[in-house]
């Protein structure tokens, strides 16, 4: 069942999403050669708690950290630790959620570590833009797969692989709610979009094949061919008109 949020619920959810976006921004600002992924995770964990919220991911289905930090060929669910140090030229995907007064926010972005290759920067840019191509169709009366098709069409024109094994989702009182929001597929399918729906729309785009595999830790998803991967996500509200991106900081940073 798809949960529609009331105006009162959305007031709380906007705050949860604002905290989440600020946590993403904090993590992005910390990325530099030599820092450990564990240090970023701790800083974000402490920040979320300081805002009166809780990290959505910590202990979710057994996940051991507050942030998913995925480096280079890691697509999603990379586990931060004190031993993993970032290097010049890495690309680093930060995925974070915050739970505030009964509601979750969820967002992600991929950041450069120092100077990166033009090819890596292009992948980051295309992945981010594919989200904005998708939300052009996040309007009342459209269908979920209209978003999906727009993401896929945009990303694939650059020769990239669009991950199929993992998808976006509804978000609200639960971190993962109905409906699923794939990043691929034909238009005109899936549930119709209705005012009050809140969706985590999250393109995961690979430099090469769309195929992925899971490492032995049971969490970290990597590209099957070892190519780079990028991730961009925001929590989006379906309205009577333009979609509203909820995961923005107080300063309006996405």
Is residue 115 assigned to a domain?
yes
Phi and psi of 238, rounded to 5°? -85, 125
Average pLDDT for 145-157: 98
Is residue 250 assigned to a domain?
no
Is residue 251 assigned to a domain?
no
Q: Are 226 and 211 within 8 A, CB to CB?
A: no
Is residue 179 assigned to a domain?
yes
Domain count, the chain: 1
Q: Angle at Cα 133 formed by Cα 198 and Cα 98, nearest 5°?
A: 35
Domain that holds residue 45: 7-245
**Can you tell me whether residue 247 is helix, strand or coil?**
coil
pLDDT in tens, 46-94: 999 999 999 999 999 999 999 999 999 999 999 999 999 999 999 999 9
pLDDT in tens, 28-55: 999 999 999 999 999 999 999 999 999 9
Is residue 2 assigned to a domain?
no
Is residue 163 assigned to a domain?
yes
User: What is the end-to-end Cα distance of the chain in Å, rounded?
Assistant: 29
Report the C-alpha gap between 224 and 20 in whole angstroms: 30
Q: Which residues contact 191 (CB under 8 A, 6 or more apart)?
A: 2, 143, 144, 178, 179
Q: State the CATH number of the domain containing residue 106.
A: 3.90.230.10
């Amino acid at each position: 069942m798809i949960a529609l949020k009331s105006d009162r619920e959305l007031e709380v959810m906007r705050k949860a999403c604002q905290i989440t976006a600020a946590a993403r921004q904090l993590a992005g600002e910390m990325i530099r050669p030599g820092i450990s992924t564990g240090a970023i995770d701790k800083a974000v964990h402490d920040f979320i708690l300081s805002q009166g919220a809780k990290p959505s991911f910590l202990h979710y289905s057994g996940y051991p950290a507050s942030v998913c930090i995925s480096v280079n060929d890691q697509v999603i669910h990379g586990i931060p630790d004190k031993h993993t140090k970032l290097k010049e030229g890495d690309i680093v995907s930060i995925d974070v959620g915050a739970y505030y007064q009964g509601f979750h926010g969820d967002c992600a972005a991929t950041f450069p570590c120092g100077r990166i290759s033009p090819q890596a920067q292009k992948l980051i840019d295309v992945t981010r833009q594919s989200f904005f191509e998708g939300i052009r169709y996040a309007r009342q009366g459209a269908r979920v797969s209209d978003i999906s098709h727009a993401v896929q069409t945009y990303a694939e024109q650059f020769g990239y692989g669009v991950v199929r094994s993992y998808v976006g989702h509804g978000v609200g009182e639960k971190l993962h709610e109905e409906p699923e929001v794939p990043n691929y597929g034909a238009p005109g399918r899936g549930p119709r979009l209705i005012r009050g729906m809140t969706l985590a729309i999250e393109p995961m785009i690979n430099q090469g094949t769309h195929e992925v595999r899971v490492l032995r830790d049971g969490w970290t998803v990597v590209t099957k061919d070892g190519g780079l991967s990028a991730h961009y996500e925001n929590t989006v509200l379906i309205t009577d008109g333009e979609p509203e991106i909820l995961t923005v900081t107080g300063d309006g940073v996405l």
